[in-house]
Structure 1
Amino acid sequence: MLRFDPFSDLDAMARGLLNSQTGSARSPRFMPMDLCKVDDHYLLTADLPGVDPGSVDVDVDNGTLTISAHRTARSEDSVQWLTNERFFGTYRRQLSLGDGIDSAKIAASYENGVLTVTIPLAERAKARKVEIAHGGGRKSIETTTVDA
């Protein structure tokens, strides 16, 4: 089988020249992720297909969440590649955490190529009721603090 697609090769070369991200054609350029707020926590999901679960690492240090993972390349010398487009190497992503995060309770799981990280809000950052004293008695109102 012979692979000849000049338009695909030209497109890949143009992307490589115009793309300002780091990495070569064979090393990872990004780790796609989603981040949303659900009730009293944030939920981060990152796609890491084909990554060995033992290579996935989630660290929190000084207000920075770092996710890293590694996918190894095939080491078969006798292989004749017809198409070789899958990235290999180390993926790394960092996020700054605000003061309203309870970093001691961050939890992570990896299943079916998807890393899920639960980032809970600190108690001080959650909505709470504040008592207001006035001459005729007490009344409570709900206040919300802004996430940092």
Structure 2
Amino acid sequence: MATRFDPFHEMDRMLGQLVAADRASAAMPLDLYRAGDHYVLHMDLPGVDPGTIDVNVEDRTLTIRAQRSAAPEGDLQWLARERPVGTYARQLTVGRGLALDAIAATYTDGVLTLTIPVAEDAKPRRIEVQHGDATTRLEAAKA
């Protein structure tokens, strides 16, 4: 039995992946900037239980996970339900030259802040150029 290629199924699968990625970025919007010798990442995580926030670095991939719990079920009649619930994750590939073992994380007022220092060996430094005395002369050896 031959496997049939269904282009609509394949397009639906790809669209599902894009929507999932868009859902994660929409649920976990972030700002990232460099300030001097460190990078700062602010990620909005309103309504997240701080105990569910997990920040992990493996190789050069920074993964942030958090969970927003649903309202208690029971005798409820929902009139509107737009706030997303569940576990969310974002992965960022970080460049070389960062001190990944020195990342600091805080969670205040629904915002997760990561401070990622630049590694010492990646910081720019000035190299002084030595120059010889302009009056130095070379003399021919006497034969």
- Tell me if both proteins adopt one fold, taking TM over 0.5 as the criterion: yes
1:84 aligns to 2:84 (yes or no): no
Give the conservation status (yes or no) of the 8 Å contact 2:24–2:90.
Answer: no
Distance 1:36 1:29 in 2: 20
SS of residue paired to 1:94:
strand
- Radius of gyration: which is bigger? 2
Give the conservation status (yes or no) of the 8 Å contact 2:100–2:117.
Answer: yes
What's the CA shift string for 1:85-125, capped at 9, x where partnerless?
00001111111111110111111000110000001000111
Counterpart of 2:104 in structure 1 is: 107
1:132 aligns to 2:129 (yes or no): yes
Distance 1:62 1:19 in 2: 24
Distance 2:34 2:64 in 1: 19
How many angstroms does 1:29 deviate by?
Answer: 3.5
SS of residue paired to 1:136:
coil
Counterpart of 1:63 in structure 2 is: 60
Q: What stretches of structure 1 of length at least 5 have no aligned partner?
A: 1-16, 138-148
Residue in structure 2 matching 1:35, options 22, 26, 32: 32
Counterpart of 1:119 in structure 2 is: 116
1:50 aligns to 2:47 (yes or no): yes
SS of residue paired to 1:134:
coil
Distance 1:85 1:19 in 2: 21
What's the CA shift string for 1:29-71, capped at 9, x where partnerless?
4210000000100000000000000000101111111100000
Structure number with higher strand proportion: 1
Question: What percentage of residue pairs aligned between the two structures are identical?
Answer: 51
Structure number with higher helix proportion: 2
Q: What stretches of structure 2 of length at least 5 have no aligned partner?
A: 1-14, 135-143
**RMSD (Å) for aligned C-alpha atoms:** 2.1
Aligned residues: 117
Give 4+ residue runs of structure 1 displaced > 2 Å after superposition: 17-20
